[in-house]
């Protein structure tokens, strides 16, 4: 059974904290293993990259075959059904339209002292995008990572995707084509991350790495951070559904399972103010699990990490939501916009009874790459700004330096940085 919590119980605060503290991922120390792989790429480049690919993916590569050619991409595109391609095109159009509205404006003004101030935005020059491989990989993630980068103005977008035993989902290549990815390489794991960060003879280095991966990929991203930028370290998926008794229990149960089916470590939580409705949802989950193809995964996730929290009044949900800081938050209530305004911490919010989270995974438009593990308290989902940098501008004239120069000298001398003070004082003296 999933966790069952009631806000009216005397032990609720303790029980809720215990629930928050459960560990959903096995703590595996991969630092040394990954460090060896990264070090091998740094020292031996392509040779190490091809050796690791042969060892882990059972694919033998050369400098001539490591990159997936335009002809291969075109051939894969042709094998996809018109229905699948149409859905990808619709998703790409909606994702692009939403992210184009995120483009920031430059800033330039002159203050009362005559000092010119401003900032200008520019794109990261090159980005590496990691895509999990095999036939079970997700073309939607290609669109979600690649399109914001292209909207931002990234000139070189490189995709790495492992092809275990030579297998690759043709829809992944079709999505990469639709999203205008510039280069695609058939490598994965920590070795691919290291190749993107440090470069090899076959793969030129990039400036930032984005995209999900397994524990080896996540550890490698941590280790190369600083040499390159990274997006985030993603954990297992999670969903919190806030639903009153006016909902269809079968709908809400399916919404909970939509994330539970990702991984046995995923988490699905229901908060409701209706105890009878809560029971109906639990029963509906059991019914769905009898027919879902991924019922073993979803069922284990629900049993080990799922929760049903019953509150006395729906207003109590606000504090619980902000404490959980969920990756995905569904508000299946009468006035979802009003409730959303009161919430500070959530990766993405889905408004109303007809907005299941699954729409956001594919077609909605906002990004589905979101902060997990309560990190929505301090971070955001992937967006255009993740592929851009801002550079500030400062322009001082002979006249305006007289207004702000003396205070600069004072502060520099107070900090014992006399050359700082001198560089300003000389200009002040020459202007007298």
- CATH, residue 337: 3.40.50.1980
Please tell me the total number of residues recorded for the chain in this structure. Answer: 432
Instruction: Report if residue 260 sits inside a domain.
Output: yes
252 and 277 part of one domain: yes
Last residue of a domain, one of 198, 213, 230: 230
Active site residue 327: yes
**What per-residue confidence (pLDDT) applies to 28?**
73
Q: What is the DSSP string of 152-185?
A: HT-SEEEEE---GGG-B-HHHHHHHHHTT-SEEE
Tokens of 311: 């509150």
- Among the listed residues 327, 330, 357, 368, the single catalytic one is 327
How far apart, in whole angstroms, are the C-alpha atoms of residue 290 and residue 16?
Answer: 29
Instruction: Report if residue 135 sits inside a domain.
Output: yes
242 and 224 part of one domain: no
- Among the listed residues 262, 288, 328, 368, the single catalytic one is 328
37 and 7 part of one domain: no
How far apart, in whole angstroms, are the C-alpha atoms of residue 203 and residue 183?
Answer: 9
Please say whether the beta carbons of 400 and 384 come within 8 A.
no
**What per-residue confidence (pLDDT) applies to 45?**
98
Reduced to 3 states, what is the DSSP secondary structure of residue 373?
Answer: coil
Global confidence as pTM? 0.94
The closest alpha carbon to 355, from 258, 226, 235, belongs to 258
188 and 42 part of one domain: yes
221 and 331 part of one domain: no
44 DSSP β-pair partners: none
Enclosing H/E stretch for 250: helix 249-260
The closest alpha carbon to 101, from 148, 41, 31, 135, belongs to 148
242 DSSP β-pair partners: 271, 331
Pairing of strands 388-395, 107-110: unpaired
How far apart, in whole angstroms, are the C-alpha atoms of residue 310 and residue 5?
Answer: 6
Last residue of a domain, one of 364, 381, 407: 364
How far apart, in whole angstroms, are the C-alpha atoms of residue 311 and residue 271?
Answer: 7
Please say whether the beta carbons of 22 and 305 come within 8 A.
yes
Put the strands of the sheet holding 208-210 in their side by side order: 183-185, 156-160, 126-130, 208-210, 229-230
**What per-residue confidence (pLDDT) applies to 1?**
81
Instruction: Report if residue 83 sits inside a domain.
Output: yes
Query: Which residues have a Cβ under 8 Å from the Cβ of 239 and sit 6 or more positions away?
Result: 255, 256, 258, 259, 267, 268, 269, 326, 327, 328, 329, 330, 357
200 and 246 part of one domain: no
239 DSSP β-pair partners: 268, 328
Instruction: Report if residue 278 sits inside a domain.
Output: yes
19 and 36 part of one domain: no
Instruction: Report if residue 116 sits inside a domain.
Output: no
How far apart, in whole angstroms, are the C-alpha atoms of residue 381 and residue 371?
Answer: 6
77 and 21 part of one domain: no
Phi, psi of 246 (to 5 degrees): -85, 0
199 and 298 part of one domain: no
Query: Which residues have a Cβ under 8 Å from the Cβ of 78 and sit 6 or more positions away?
Result: none
**Digits of tens for pLDDT over the chain (432 positions)?**
899 999 999 999 999 999 999 988 766 789 999 999 999 999 999 999 999 999 999 999 999 999 999 999 999 999 999 999 999 999 999 999 999 999 999 999 999 999 999 999 999 999 999 999 876 679 999 999 999 999 999 999 999 999 999 999 999 999 999 999 999 999 999 999 999 999 999 999 999 999 999 899 999 999 999 999 999 988 899 999 999 999 999 999 999 999 999 999 999 999 999 999 999 999 999 999 999 999 999 999 999 999 999 999 999 999 999 999 999 999 999 999 999 999 999 999 999 999 999 999 999 999 999 999 999 999 999 999 999 999 999 999 999 999 999 999 999 999 999 999 999 999 999 866
Instruction: Report if residue 374 sits inside a domain.
Output: no
240 and 352 part of one domain: yes
224 and 90 part of one domain: yes
**End-to-end Cα distance, the chain:** 81
Please say whether the beta carbons of 309 and 276 come within 8 A.
no
Instruction: Report if residue 8 sits inside a domain.
Output: yes
Put the strands of the sheet holding 107-110 in their side by side order: 107-110, 116-123, 388-395
If one counts the domains in the chain, the total is 3
Instruction: Report if residue 411 sits inside a domain.
Output: yes
62 and 176 part of one domain: yes
The closest alpha carbon to 29, from 215, 246, 177, 245, belongs to 215
Please say whether the beta carbons of 306 and 282 come within 8 A.
no
Domain that holds residue 425: 396-430
Last residue of a domain, one of 230, 262, 279: 230
Pairing of strands 107-110, 116-123: antiparallel
């Amino acid at each position: 059974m999933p966790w069952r919590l009631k806000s009216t119980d005397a032990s609720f605060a303790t029980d809720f904290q215990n629930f928050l503290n459960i560990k959903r991922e096995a703590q595996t120390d991969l630092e040394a293993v990954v460090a060896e792989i990264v070090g091998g790429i740094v020292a031996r480049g392509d040779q190490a990259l091809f050796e690791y690919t042969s060892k882990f993916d059972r694919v033998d590569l050369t400098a001539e075959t490591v990159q997936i050619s335009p002809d291969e991409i075109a051939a894969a595109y042709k094998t996809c059904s018109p229905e699948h391609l149409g859905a990808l095109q619709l998703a790409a159009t909606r994702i692009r339209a939403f992210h184009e509205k995120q483009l920031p404006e430059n800033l330039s003004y002159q203050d009362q002292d005559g000092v010119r101030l401003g900032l200008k935005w520019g794109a990261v020059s090159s980005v590496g995008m990691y895509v999990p491989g095999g036939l079970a990989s997700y073309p939607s993630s290609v669109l979600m990572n690649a399109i914001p980068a292209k909207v931002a103005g990234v000139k070189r977008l490189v995709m790495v995707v492992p092809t275990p035993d030579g297998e690759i989902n043709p829809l992944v290549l079709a999505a990469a084509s639709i999203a205008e990815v510039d280069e695609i390489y058939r490598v994965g794991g920590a070795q691919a991350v290291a190749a993107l960060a440090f470069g090899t003879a076959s793969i030129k280095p990039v400036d930032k790495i984005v995209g999900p991966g397994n524990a080896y990929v996540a550890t490698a991203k941590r280790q190369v951070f600083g040499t390159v930028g990274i997006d985030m370290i993603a954990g297992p998926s999670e969903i919190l559904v806030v639903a009153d008794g006016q909902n269809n229990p079968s709908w809400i149960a399916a919404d909970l399972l939509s994330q539970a089916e990702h991984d046995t470590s995923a988490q699905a939580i229901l908060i409701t103010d209706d105890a009878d409705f809560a029971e109906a949802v639990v029963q509906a989950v059991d019914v769905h699990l009898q027919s879902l193809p991924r019922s073993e995964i979803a069922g284990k996730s629900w049993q080990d990490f799922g929760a049903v929290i019953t509150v006395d009044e729906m207003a109590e949900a606000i504090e619980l939501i902000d404490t959980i800081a969920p990756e995905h938050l569904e508000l299946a209530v009468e006035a979802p916009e009003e409730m959303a305004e009161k919430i500070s911490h959530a990766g993405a919010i889905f408004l109303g009874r007809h907005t299941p989270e699954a729409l956001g995974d594919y077609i909605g438009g906002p990004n589905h790459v979101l902060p997990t593990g309560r990190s929505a308290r301090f971070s955001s989902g992937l967006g255009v700004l993740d592929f851009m940098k801002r550079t500030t501008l400062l322009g001082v004239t002979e006249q305006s330096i007289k207004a702000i120069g003396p205070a600069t000298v004072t502060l520099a001398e107070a900090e014992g940085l006399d050359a700082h003070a001198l560089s300003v004082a000389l200009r002040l003296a020459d202007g007298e």
